[in-house]
């Protein structure tokens, strides 16, 4: 059970307080309701580049990191296709420093040309390090546009191409800030050794006077249902072949979501999972095999991936994956197997309560989904899933005409 | 109106209090250390064993025996072990380190009577089945092929080999090494290493008296020593003579750089002062290396430096991946930063920031009872006691710029550093 209090400032900023006096630390987490899906198709990678620029100084504070480190704090941020999330952890005695820093960059950035120039370079190096200079690093750059034809999920958060990052102008940065970085589009969670009264007072003091800004109304082109099997083959300098099969699935807020997640757990969570036991240990088809879901806010992806062993052809690998999928479509999973993945989900939830930062981020995510209190009802939703529902989802998802297959061939 | 240009008042961190364990020695030689705290009805239990002496002819034994502990016992198959653990929502991990190898169980308290017997079985009756061993070798070799395509991995392997020589610390597996693995050797190694007298148990979480009784019942009377323990001392380290290693990758977009040197370890009085010097140079986001090479020049996504400390050896290293076209420039900037530490005093303003950052970071690293147990392990296995942390905070609070410049001149000689480049240069 994660307890919290909640209030909203006049300018629309939603604030959640989680009091936890077992720690001498505090966390301030701000989620901005903007991700790569909100980008212009001709300016992809912008939400993430912007995240970097948020550390380049704000209107009244020339540098962001230094004053925070000076009071014993640390921070970081991440951008996904759906959201951009910033967090600070610091000794709770110095909580006000976090309010000062975060409120000033919500008020306005410094918009320095030098910062833009340097962060463009840093992000280009990040692009190379994570996506281009790694074996299989560009898989997502290829798989996304295969699965999505309309929705902006068709590009990765890093962007479609380095060119889009090189072309970013300071005017674009300013416009993006105005559109997305205002109190109405943000959710703040303050947790740790703090009191609700104290957080109310500090929130009013530092965030209260920030203009509400305009509410961003999201109206994204939704992905139509897939009706044909898609396939692409690429050859690259990698040591092993790799097979990806992605299926379109529902959104994170769909009622079916819980059954689909358990379906992926049955297939691939841990060494007792079906794919691991059957395809790595028994049949010895793959050296590695995984199944996972993206958990996206709009229509998501259910992904299977496997690296076939030497001497196993791509066709054999694909056939082996489909055999497992057909099996789970045909037969309900036994009660014990369902209980197993449900138990695992339940204990994972309890273990995640050991981390203050995890709790703060989860509260923010659930508030974005509609209500922070969902965090306390998640487990029950997984426990309520039946074997019949898991089977139903398997049949709904695992169809050839809902599949996108990416074959990654090793150049010999 | 508030003055937004003015930073709020702040307080320096005074007291950092660490939870110390309750020590419970058992008759069979096991030492249990208990950290009892927390609200959640769960525990983490670690069974930690010293590795046996590294054998260059059979270099993978310590690692492979540890990795395959979950692959079958006299009565349970690998699949059955995984089923049991997963069914009760528990997590079972095996981890190989240079000095110690361990088994870790995360379990809800209410399921411990089901999960603990599985661990007991693993520690008493593992058999390393032939078929599982073949699968292990094959899959490890495939993974190694992928790793060897990563420039940072290749750089780390070359660096460790140079700094630590042909020891357990410097060893990096080659494809052919997997063929040296034999079931008989593994069984013999297992028997000499996974014995109560070579085991330390660290338990952290909400520990009720029933939990402890269950733990001692399972791992005392019913866990006798059945064999002499093998030798757990690692031979002395001889670093390589060559200082420069370049692996060319003509198509690389980025080059991996790793630069450093053998250095004193945690037990030396200069270690904590060196940690401060390391933080100034490359130990945090605002460090000099990051400020210069990422934030000013934009050569890299990230650069950092660190200190590694083992019982018999330590090392200092700088690691980064930079644009292939700016690799030489980046190395020159690294050299410049090292030399600046030797010639210019660290300004008081920067030093006070580093002090506060390090203390905050120590406080922040104590997130929950597991972190307190981790702090204990760092000192216990290095043969140190809790004074270590008192000295750490005292050092961080009081160290002077004079001491830092003196340390830099004692320990940092860029010309004598090992330098590894993978990519273009």
Confirm or reject contact between A130 and chain B (CB < 8 A).
Answer: yes
> Å from A357 to nearest chain B CA?
9
CATH 3.30.830.10 domain range(s) in chain A: 5-207, 230-410
A230-410 placed in CATH 3.40.190.10: no
A115 pLDDT above the threshold of 80: yes
Tell me what pLDDT residue B13 has.
86
> Å from A287 to nearest chain B CA?
5
Stretch 21-60 of chain A: residues touching chain B, C-beta under 8 Å? 22-25, 59-60
**Using CA atoms, how far apart are residues A21 and A17, in angstroms rounded to an integer?**
12
Nearest to B7 among A100, A237, A270 (CB): A100
> Å from A223 to nearest chain B CA?
33
pLDDT digits (tens, 9 = 90+) for A146-157: 999 999 999 999
pLDDT digits (tens, 9 = 90+) for A164-210: 999 999 999 999 999 999 999 999 999 999 999 999 999 999 999 99
B300 pLDDT above the threshold of 80: yes
Tell me what pLDDT residue B402 has.
98
Count of residues in chain B: 425
**ipTM metric:** 0.91
Q: Which residues of A touch B86 (CB under 8 A)?
A: 269-272, 340-341, 343-344
Nearest to A343 among B89, B150, B252 (CB): B89
What percentage of chain B has pLDDT greater than the value 90?
94
pLDDT digits (tens, 9 = 90+) for A236-272: 999 999 999 999 999 999 999 999 999 999 999 999 9
Tell me what pLDDT residue B367 has.
87
A412 pLDDT above the threshold of 80: no
> Å from B306 to nearest chain A CA?
18
Tell me what pLDDT residue B212 has.
94
What percentage of chain A has pLDDT greater than the value 90?
96
Confirm or reject contact between A145 and chain B (CB < 8 A).
Answer: no
Domains in chain B (CATH in brackets) are 22-221 (3.30.830.10), 244-423 (3.30.830.10)
Tell me what pLDDT residue A375 has.
96
A348 pLDDT above the threshold of 80: yes
A217 pLDDT above the threshold of 90: yes
Q: Do A134 and B150 touch (CB under 8 A)?
A: yes
Average pLDDT over residues A57-68: 94
Kindly report the average pLDDT of chain A as a whole number: 96
Nearest to A125 among B11, B13, B300 (CB): B300
Q: Do A104 and B254 touch (CB under 8 A)?
A: no
- Alpha-carbon distances of A350 from A177, A212, A383, B89, rounded to whole Å: 37, 37, 14, 10
Average pLDDT over residues B166-192: 96
What percentage of chain A has pLDDT greater than the value 70?
100
B14 pLDDT above the threshold of 90: no
Tell me what pLDDT residue A22 has.
87
The 3-state secondary structure of chain B, one letter per residue: CCCCCCCCCCCCCCCCCCCCCEEEECCCCCEEEEEECCCCCEEEEEEEEECCCCCCCCCCHHHHHHHHHHCEECCCEHHHHHHHHHHCCCEEEEEECCCEEEEEEEEEHHHHHHHHHHHHHHHHHECCCHHHHHHHHHHHHHHHHHHCCCHHHHHHHHHHHHHHCCCCCCCCCCHHHHHHCCHHHHHHHHHHHCCHHHEEEEEEECCCHHHHHHHHHHHHHCCCCCCCCCCCCCCCCCCCCCCEEEEECCCCCEEEEEEEEEECCCCCCCHHHHHHHHHHHHCCCCCHHHHHHHHHCCCEEEEEEEEEECCCCEEEEEEEEEEHHHHHHHHHHHHHHHHHHHHCCCCHHHHHHHHHHHHHHHHHCCCCHHHHHHHHHHHHCCCCCCHHHHHHHHHHHHCCHHHHHHHHHHHCCHHHCEEEEEECC
Kindly report the average pLDDT of chain B as a whole number: 96
Tell me what pLDDT residue B16 has.
87
A141 pLDDT above the threshold of 80: yes
Confirm or reject contact between A10 and chain B (CB < 8 A).
Answer: no
pLDDT digits (tens, 9 = 90+) for B358-411: 999 999 999 899 999 999 999 999 999 999 999 999 999 999 999 999 999 999
pTM for the full predicted model: 0.94
Fold of A5-207: Cytochrome Bc1 Complex; Chain A, domain 1 (3.30.830)
B221 pLDDT above the threshold of 90: no
Closest chain A residue by Cα to residue B10: A94
B98 pLDDT above the threshold of 80: yes
Closest chain B residue by Cα to residue A131: B253
Tell me what pLDDT residue A276 has.
97
Q: Do A277 and B82 touch (CB under 8 A)?
A: yes
Q: Which residues of A touch B135 (CB under 8 A)?
A: 280-281, 284
> Å from A289 to nearest chain B CA?
11
Of the candidates A94, A75, A95, which has an alpha carbon nearest to the alpha carbon of residue A85? A75
Closest chain B residue by Cα to residue A107: B4
Establish how many alpha carbons lie within 13 A of residue B80's alpha carbon, considering only the half-sphere containing its beta carbon.
12
Sign of the CA dihedral with A12 first, then A16, A17, and A23 last: negative
């Amino acid at each position: 059970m994660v307890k919290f209090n909640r209030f909203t400032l006049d300018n629309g900023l939603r604030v959640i307080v989680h009091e936890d006096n077992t720690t001498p630390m505090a966390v301030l987490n701000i989620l901005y309701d903007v991700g790569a899906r909100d980008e212009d198709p001709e300016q992809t990678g912008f939400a993430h580049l912007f995240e970097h620029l948020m550390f380049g100084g704000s209107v009244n504070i020339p540098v962001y990191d230094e004053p925070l480190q000076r009071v014993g704090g640390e921070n970081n941020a991440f951008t996904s296709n759906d959201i951009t999330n910033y967090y600070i952890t610091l000794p709770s005695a110095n909580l006000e420093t976090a309010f000062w820093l975060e409120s000033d960059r919500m008020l306005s950035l410094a918009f320095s040309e030098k910062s833009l120039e340097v962060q463009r370079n840093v992000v280009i190096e990040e692009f190379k390090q994570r996506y281009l200079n790694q074996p299989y690093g560009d898989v997502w750059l290829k798989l996304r546009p295969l699965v999505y034809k309309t929705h902006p999920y068709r590009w990765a958060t890093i962007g479609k191409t380095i060119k889009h990052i090189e072309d970013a102008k300071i005017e674009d940065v300013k416009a993006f800030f105005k559109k997305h970085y205002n109190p109405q589009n943000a959710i703040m969670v303050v947790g740790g050794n703090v009191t609700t009264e104290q957080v109310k007072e500090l929130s009013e003091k530092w965030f209260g006077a920030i203009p509400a800004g305009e509410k961003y109304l999201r109206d994204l082109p939704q992905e139509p249902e897939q009706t044909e099997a898609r396939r692409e083959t690429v050859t690259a300098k990698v040591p092993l072949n790799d097979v990806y099969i992605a299926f379109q699935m529902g959104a994170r807020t769909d009622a079916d979501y819980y059954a689909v997640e358990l379906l992926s757990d049955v297939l691939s969570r841990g060494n007792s999972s079906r794919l691991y036991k059957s395809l790595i240990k028994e049949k010895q088809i793959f050296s590695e095999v995984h199944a996972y879901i993206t958990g996206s806010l709009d229509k998501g992806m259910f992904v299977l991936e496997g690296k076939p062993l030497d001497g196993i052809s791509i066709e054999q690998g694909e056939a082996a994956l489909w055999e497992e999928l057909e099996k789970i479509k045909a037969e309900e999973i036994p009660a014990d197997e369902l209980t197993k993945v449900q138990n695992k989900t339940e204990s994972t939830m309890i273990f995640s309560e050991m981390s203050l930062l995890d709790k703060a981020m989860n509260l923010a995510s659930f508030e974005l989904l509609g209500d922070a209190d969902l965090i306390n009802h998640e487990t029950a939703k997984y426990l309520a899933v039946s074997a019949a529902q898991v089977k139903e989802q398997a049949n709904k998802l695992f169809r050839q005409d809902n599949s996108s297959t990416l074959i990654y061939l090793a150049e010999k | 109106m508030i003055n937004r240009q003015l930073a709020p008042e702040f307080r320096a961190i005074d007291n950092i209090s660490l939870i110390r364990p309750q020590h419970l020695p058992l008759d069979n030689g096991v030492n249990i250390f208990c950290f009892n705290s927390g609200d959640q009805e769960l525990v983490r239990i670690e069974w930690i064993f010293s590795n046996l002496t590294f054998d260059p002819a059979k270099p993978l034994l310590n690692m492979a025996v540890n990795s395959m502990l979950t692959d079958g016992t006299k009565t349970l198959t690998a699949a059955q072990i995984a089923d049991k653990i997963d069914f009760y929502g528990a997590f079972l991990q095996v981890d190989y380190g240079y000095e110690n190898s361990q088994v870790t169980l995360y379990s809800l308290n209410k399921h411990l009577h089901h999960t603990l017997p599985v661990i007991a079985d693993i520690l008493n009756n593992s058999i390393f089945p032939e078929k599982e061993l073949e699968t292990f070798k094959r899959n490890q070799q495939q993974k190694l092929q992928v790793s060897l395509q990563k420039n940072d991995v290749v750089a780390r392997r070359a660096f460790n080999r140079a700094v630590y020589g042909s020891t357990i610390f410097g060893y990096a597996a080659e494809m052919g090494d997997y063929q040296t693995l034999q079931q008989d050797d593994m069984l013999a190694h297992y028997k000499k290493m996974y014995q109560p007298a070579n085991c330390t148990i660290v338990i952290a979480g909400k520990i009720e008296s029933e939990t402890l009784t269950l733990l001692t019942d399972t791992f005392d009377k019913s866990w006798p020593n059945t064999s002499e323990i093998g030798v757990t001392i690692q031979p002395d380290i001889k670093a390589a003579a060559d200082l420069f290693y370049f692996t060319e990758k003509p198509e690389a977009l980025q080059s991996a750089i790793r630069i450093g040197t053998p250095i004193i370890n945690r037990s030396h009085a200069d270690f904590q002062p060196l940690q401060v010097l390391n933080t100034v140079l490359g130990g945090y986001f605002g460090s000099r290396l990051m400020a210069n090479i990422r934030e000013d020049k934009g050569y890299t996504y990230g650069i950092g430096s660190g200190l590694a400390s083992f019982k018999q050896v330590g090392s200092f290293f700088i690691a980064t991946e930079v644009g292939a076209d700016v690799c030489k420039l980046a190395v020159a900037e690294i050299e410049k930063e090292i030399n600046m530490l030797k010639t210019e005093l660290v300004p008081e303003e920067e030093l006070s920031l580093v002090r506060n950052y390090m203390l905050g970071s120590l406080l922040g690293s104590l997130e929950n009872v597991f972190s307190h147990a981790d702090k204990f392990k760092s000192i216990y296995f290095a043969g140190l006691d809790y004074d270590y942390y008192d000295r750490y905070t005292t050092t961080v609070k009081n160290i002077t710029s004079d001491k830092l410049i003196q340390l830099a001149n004692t320990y940092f000689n860029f010309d004598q550093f090992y330098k590894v480049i993978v990519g273009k240069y």
